[in-house]
């Protein structure tokens, strides 16, 4: 593998001179050069957080998958590490697909899917996917041990990937995504040494309307309940729900003694345009943290012309309240804040008010919406506004629909469309935390009830912020805001 890794590292060094940084995020994980998609192993090892990711270092488009690698001591300041895995062996000849990372004694272990095209490259009807193991004693250089699960539970399963591994008592458990015809399955395995695995049963399977493949499954416990997190392919839109090509969401329930999961309905974890393939880890202090790919398949990706593509979302904390996951930006992110910017008083007039003191492409903005008396019209904030009024990203409450809307119809190159979430009619106030990076927006409800994650591609000089209101009643303010520092060491 060392020769393949050397070639890949050389491609990264050579590619740096061609990269254009206009859209490059300042405090999110993104590749130096080339393509990025799913977060793979997210793990805490020897006092540091490691995030691996699907990576193609030779082109800004999807190709044979490598594992990119970054680490951080504080979840805020990151550094790139050498590429961890390269395809090329018989068991992973055409790609080291997604998987997970665990700590086993003094060793960091990567469990991933080895992908092989048996026929023409790109022909999904003729593939072989096996689950593989690689280990490292220093967290940087990895030794492959080959395939540790060489066959799917049934011979007719070809799609069999994305292993997530965790330890419970004295055993390791592995859940993966599988597809039998157009039925999604989640096989569960057990091991004592990460090398030899025993198939237990299918944790869950899909039925009509559940899609044909559940990618990147994750199964964990919060507050005494089991949470099944996965990314279905093939679910159909319904009303305001499931508008992206694919989704990421969860079900809350219980895993019984026979290894079967029984749970509630599928709930989307994020309501934005770009959020997929989420994976969790347990932080040093016991919190459940989550990362996701901040893009979506078959979406506009203007940075490909700049010789890089893809980024990950901010690390998020998960809490379970009843039957719903609540999502918060990781508390460590406050370390990115520079000197605070002056806020604004309440704006309750019809029209638009510029906020010249809050300006930039790397910002954290707290937005408060007082909905009392707001019976019609829109109430909200415009971000990444251009001086010529051609570009803006809108975040507003639609009083007639009773929905909070993220509108990127004028958010820059190629992107368009709205996403929204329902707001309880009894709710009188919305308190939002908005994170802007150079080509993204992430919006969090202060109480964890929802989030929006979307890519934006405005011009570098589209930096303005405005408050706006139409209709009757309601008011909006920015009580706090900060410019944010770079997250890269």
Q: Catalogue the active-site residues.
A: 38
Q: Under DSSP, is residue 104 helix (H, G, I), strand (E, B) or coil?
A: strand
- Nearest CA-CA partner of 51 in 333, 290, 231: 290
Closest C-alpha to 347, from 339, 357, 355: 355
Give, in degrees to the nearest 5, the angle at Cα 385 between 435 and 460: 80
Pairing of strands 308-309, 34-45: parallel
Nearest CA to 54 among 290, 309, 303? 309
**CA contacts within 13 A on the Cβ side of 478:** 28
Inter-CA distances, 458 with 186, 357, 412, Å: 40, 20, 4
392 contacts 383 by C-beta, under 8 angstroms:
yes
Judged on CB neighbours under 10 Å (0-12, 13-18, 19+), 315 is: buried
- Strands 475-483 and 363-370, sheet pairing: antiparallel
Between CA 374 and CA 380 the distance in angstroms is 12
**Cα 102–chain centre separation:** 19
Q: Is the dihedral of CA 244, 246, 249, 254 positive or negative?
A: positive
Sign of the C-alpha dihedral computed for residues 397, 403, 408 and 409 taken in this order: negative
The count of other CB atoms within 10 Å of the CB of residue 379 is 25
Asked if residues 377 and 471 have their Cβ atoms less than 8 Å apart, the reply is: yes
Contact between 115 and 100 (Cβ < 8 Å): no
Q: Is the dihedral of CA 226, 48, 215, 315 positive or negative?
A: positive
Contact present, 91 and 130 (Cβ < 8 Å) = yes
Give the separation between CA 323 and CA 342, rounded to whole angstroms: 39
CB proximity list for 485: less than 8 A, separation 6 or greater: 26, 27, 336, 337, 338, 362
**DSSP codes of every residue in 333-372:** GGGGB-SPBP----B-SSEEEE-TTS--SSEEEEEEEE-T
DSSP at 302: G
């Amino acid at each position: 593998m060392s020769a393949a890794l050397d070639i890949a590292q050389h491609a990264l060094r050579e590619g740096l001179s061609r990269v254009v940084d206009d859209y490059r995020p300042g405090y999110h994980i993104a590749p130096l050069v080339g393509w990025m998609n799913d977060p793979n192993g997210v793990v805490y090892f020897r006092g540091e957080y490691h995030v691996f990711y699907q990576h193609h270092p030779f082109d800004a488009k999807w190709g044979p998958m490598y594992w990119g690698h970054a680490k951080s001591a504080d979840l805020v300041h990151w550094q790139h590490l050498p590429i961890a895995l390269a395809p090329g062996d018989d068991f992973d000849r055409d790609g080291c697909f997604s998987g997970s990372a665990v700590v086993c004694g003094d060793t960091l272990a990567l469990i991933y899917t080895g992908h092989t095209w048996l026929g023409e490259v790109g022909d999904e009807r003729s593939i072989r996917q096996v689950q593989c193991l690689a280990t490292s004693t220093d967290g940087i250089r990895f030794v492959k041990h080959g395939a540790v699960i060489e066959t799917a539970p049934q011979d007719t399963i070809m799609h069999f990937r994305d292993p997530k591994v965790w330890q419970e008592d004295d055993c390791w458990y592995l859940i993966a995504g599988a597809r039998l015809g157009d039925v999604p399955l989640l096989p569960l395995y057990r091991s004592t040494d990460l090398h030899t695995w025993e198939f237990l049963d299918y944790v869950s399977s899909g039925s009509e309307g559940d899609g044909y493949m559940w990618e990147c499954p994750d199964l964990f416990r919060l507050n005494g309940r089991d949470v099944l997190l996965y990314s279905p392919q093939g679910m159909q839109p319904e009303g305001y729900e499931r508008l992206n090509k694919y989704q990421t969401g969860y079900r809350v329930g219980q895993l019984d003694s026979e290894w079967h999961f029984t749970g509630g309905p599928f709930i989307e974890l994020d309501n934005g345009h770009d959020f997929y393939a989420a994976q969790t880890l347990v932080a040093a202090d016991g919190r459940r943290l989550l990362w996701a790919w901040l893009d979506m398949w078959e979406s506009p990706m203007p940075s490909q012309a700049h010789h890089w593509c893809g980024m990950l979302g901010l690390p998020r904390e998960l809490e379970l309240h009843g039957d719903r996951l609540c999502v918060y930006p990781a508390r460590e992110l406050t370390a990115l804040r520079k000197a605070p910017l002056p806020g604004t008083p309440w704006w309750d007039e019809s029209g638009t008010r510029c906020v010249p003191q809050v300006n930039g492409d790397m910002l954290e903005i707290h937005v408060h919406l007082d909905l009392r008396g707001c019976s019609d019209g829109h109430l909200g904030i415009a971000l990444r506004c251009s001086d010529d009024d051609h570009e803006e990203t809108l975040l507003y409450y639609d009083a007639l629909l009773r929905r909070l809307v993220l509108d990127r119809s004028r958010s820059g190159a190629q992107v368009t469309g709205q996403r929204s979430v329902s707001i309880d009619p009894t709710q009188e106030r919305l308190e939002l935390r908005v994170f802007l990076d150079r080509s993204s927006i992430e919006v969090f409800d202060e109480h964890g009830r929802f989030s929006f994650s979307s890519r934006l591609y405005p011009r570098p000089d589209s930096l303005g912020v405005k408050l706006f209101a139409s209709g009757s009643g309601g008011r909006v303010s920015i009580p706090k805001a900060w410019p944010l520092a770079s997250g890269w060491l």
